[in-house]
Structure 1
Amino acid sequence: MKKILVVDDELQILKAITRMLADTDYEVITSENGKDALAIIESTPVDMVIADMRMPIMDGFELLKVVKEKYPKIIRIILSGYAEEKAMFQAVLHNVAKLYIFKPWNNEEFLQSINKLFSVDTILHSDELIKSIDDMECSATIPDYCKQLLSTIEKEDVNAVIDELEQNADLSALLIQVAKSSIYGVMPNTVKQSVKYIGLHNMKCFVHWACVVNAMKCKETDTFDSHMLLQHSYLTNRIFLFLYETFLHKQPPESALFAGLMHNIGLIMIAKNLQKKGSLSQDTQSEVYFEFDQKQYQGKHQEIGAHLLDQWDIPFPMYEVALYHHRPLDPYIVNFELVSCVYIAQSFAWKTLAGTEIESNISEVFDKLDLSKEEFETRLARYLK
């Protein structure tokens, strides 16, 4: 039985969540403050912590920050009011929670989200998946300068982040390139502009992308050119943002600006691993990438990518996209709209680059988003000219 610790200084909130979970298989423990909650966690194994953002003694941000550092396997959820913008920015920047629930909530949706988080956690920590990842040695090495940059980002010093980036020509050029694929209708030309538009809370994701690009650099002896996979990622992000701006008339979630860029990390790492073994050639196309994944990794590139993003401390919406970007109709998806938009974007990116449309559920996904596939295709063609 999974144990859920609920922490809030308001007794009515504790009672409401306890009632909501009463007819489930979850065991509920409650606490009225952060310090007592930590004492409970130290003495009792807990699978999930749901904490209110605003509490006396120790607020939800501080509590979940400690839980993340000391007990990283515990799933973390924040309860928040709409007025707590500064606290929410810090929570997103430091990725202290997998999910943010705003008051007042819908009980059915809240309960479904809890179930879905546990489902994803089970998938990403299965013994079979961990063995596949260990066997393929697919993690990207983090250079010292990237470790330093990640540390500076954690300190929330924007000027220091800009200074460090400007001292590295390769990182600066890559940042500007990434920014151009991540900001619809804006073409930043400097590091400062790029950091401003991307936002400090997305810079951690950029640093890990830089490590991936560094790992994918081709040597003269390589038989595999990574250009196609990387170009697909950039184009997916452009189409993803175009879809949000032009058809949904809004921005994607702040923590998911790079959802299109990072969605295929699992396939990229599989390709790099196979390249080391000499299993890929220069003319490898999209169908062959998926064929290798299916034959040698049982089609697990989505799970592998999601696991890696989770290990890199990338926000939950990003690795949920990686996990379901070929299965947008899966009933366990929390962020359906986000996953669906990346699903559409990556499919049209492959169609543009390789001339093939690889997804069979594309029309149904357009229908669920209440969008016209034909209109999207027409306007996208004009946009990409």
Structure 2
Amino acid sequence: MKRRILFVDDEQAILRSLYRLFRERDYEINLAESGKEALEFLEQHEVDLVVSDMRMPSMSGHQLLLKVKEKYPDTMRLILSGYAQEQELFRSLLDGSSKMYLLKPWDNEMLLQIVDHIFKLQDLLRERRLLDRIESMDNLPTLPGIYRQLCTMLEEEADIKQIAGLINRDQAIAAKVLQLANSAFCSVKTGSAQQAVSFLGLSIVKNIVMASSIFDEKNGGKVQASIREILWRHSSMANRLLLTMSEELLHKKMPDDRASAGLLHDIGKVLLAKQFGARFAEVMLQSEQLGMPSLEALEREAFGVSHQELGAYLLNWWQLPYPIVEAALFSHDPLNAPVVHRELVCLTHLANYYSWKKVRPSSKAKLEEGVFAALGIAKEDCEILAKQLKDG
């Protein structure tokens, strides 16, 4: 069956352009000139992907996609906007109504490739083998309660003081927010959650709340706790490296919808440690001792699923932005995978490698040398940057 895409825009010329672009592809293309018309169509038809303009009369693209998220959560949702800095665009990423955004005017070939890759990723996450293995696990964690409260506050546009008050209710989460704020901004030292939220930004704080809830999962014995502590150190270091490499080497501020990719890219390992405890610790040790086969191959042999597949599935199930899901699934294969956000995936690959070298020198993390050329940066500069960052 053909995939069905619904394009929504109040400008007929835009809709005609999109129709002409996609009509020769193996998709069923439908058009709507308003949010109301789009919702009426969705009531009658199953749609795989909704691509909506942001600024429309009566109902904005953000308002439309919030309704789509509520009524049709399995439908992919993208914003097509001519305004990169629009506040409502930012809110659509924070509340998960939009998985990613594309900017007008678009490049035709790139837009076609992005849509193709989105569907390929969805196929990978819905592959029968992966679904069978995940369904056989005891349970997957639901979104932590404090995370859901934070998302509600963000949707209601609560101020930073209110958000800091929520974070301060959980000492473990508050400590991790402060830890990352103080380590990421070495020129600023703060003991205030409110200042930390201001420094880090709402997107990063939101994902710290989610990640720390999982890393601090109380179930399990000493082995799981030890692994979770190592993984937290690794993930927080990887996120610092990710942001620093982007700013210092690429001279770009990491966009909000992907600024927590380093923090979340290895969350599948935390879930495997929770599910399999000492057995997962044995697999990690075996990987370090042997080097080859890779950890991913050993995980599939032992558990039927790799940490990348499990992590990406969970992040996608939790409706996190598409770039973060991609980084979790493809950072170990950054050049060969069907990737939309190639730069982010390559940076996450480097952040993962150099973080393990600092946090656990015995790790046999693999480095794909081709990412340096893909990013246009020098290996020597990355190594200097990694050495300058302290663990902790």
- CA change 1:282–1:224 in 2 (3 A) is farther
Q: Please, which moves more after superposition, 326-335 or 287-296?
A: 287-296
Partner of 2:379: 373
**Distance in 1 between the 2:158 and 2:166 partners?**
11
Partner of 1:246: 248
Contact 2:133 2:304 survives alignment (8 Å): no
Does 2:312 correspond to 1:306?
A: yes
Within-5 A mapping of 1:204-223: 204-215=206-217, 219=221
Contact 1:136 1:270 survives alignment (8 Å): no
Partner of 1:287: 288
Structure 1 alignment gaps of length 5 or more: none
Partner of 1:343: 349
Partner of 2:273: 271
- The residue type equivalent to 1:274 in the other structure is F
Partner of 1:103: 104
- CA change 1:225–1:327 in 2 (3 A) is closer
**Distance in 2 between the 1:10 and 1:221 partners?**
58
**Distance in 2 between the 1:367 and 1:70 partners?**
44
Determine helix, strand or coil for the equivalent of 1:55.
coil
**Distance in 1 between the 2:298 and 2:72 partners?**
36
- CA change 1:63–1:283 in 2 (3 A) is closer
**Distance in 2 between the 1:365 and 1:31 partners?**
41
Deviations 1:253-276, CA, capped at 9 Å, x for gaps? 21222111110011221122111x
Partner of 1:333: 339
Contact 2:52 2:79 survives alignment (8 Å): yes
Partner of 1:203: 205
Deviations 1:312-358, CA, capped at 9 Å, x for gaps? 22211111100111010134111111110010010111122332574
Determine helix, strand or coil for the equivalent of 2:249.
helix
Does 2:325 correspond to 1:323?
A: no
Contact 2:4 2:48 survives alignment (8 Å): yes
Partner of 1:136: 137
The CA deviation at 1:248 is 0.9
Determine helix, strand or coil for the equivalent of 1:92.
helix
The TM-score normalised by the length of structure 2 is 0.89
Deviations 1:287-317, CA, capped at 9 Å, x for gaps? 3765641322355211110111112222111
**Distance in 2 between the 1:3 and 1:265 partners?**
32
**Distance in 2 between the 1:92 and 1:222 partners?**
32
The TM-score normalised by the length of structure 1 is 0.91
Structure 2 alignment gaps of length 5 or more: 290-294
Determine helix, strand or coil for the equivalent of 2:6.
strand
**Distance in 1 between the 2:303 and 2:284 partners?**
21
Contact 2:10 2:56 survives alignment (8 Å): yes
Q: Please, which moves more after superposition, 173-182 or 155-164?
A: 173-182
Contact 2:143 2:318 survives alignment (8 Å): no
Deviations 1:86-127, CA, capped at 9 Å, x for gaps? 221221222222221111110000110000111111111223
Contact 1:285 1:354 survives alignment (8 Å): no
Aligned length: 384
- The residue type equivalent to 1:325 in the other structure is S
**Distance in 2 between the 1:285 and 1:217 partners?**
24
- The residue type equivalent to 1:201 in the other structure is S
Determine helix, strand or coil for the equivalent of 1:248.
coil
Partner of 2:125: 124
- Residue 261 of structure 2 is aligned with which of 259, 262, 276? 259
**Distance in 2 between the 1:183 and 1:68 partners?**
35
- The residue type equivalent to 2:237 in the other structure is L
- CA change 1:85–1:150 in 2 (3 A) is closer
Contact 2:50 2:77 survives alignment (8 Å): yes
- CA change 1:143–1:112 in 2 (3 A) is closer
Q: Please, which moves more after superposition, 83-92 or 281-290?
A: 281-290
Partner of 2:292: none
- The residue type equivalent to 2:206 in the other structure is K
Contact 1:3 1:27 survives alignment (8 Å): yes
The CA deviation at 1:186 is 4.4
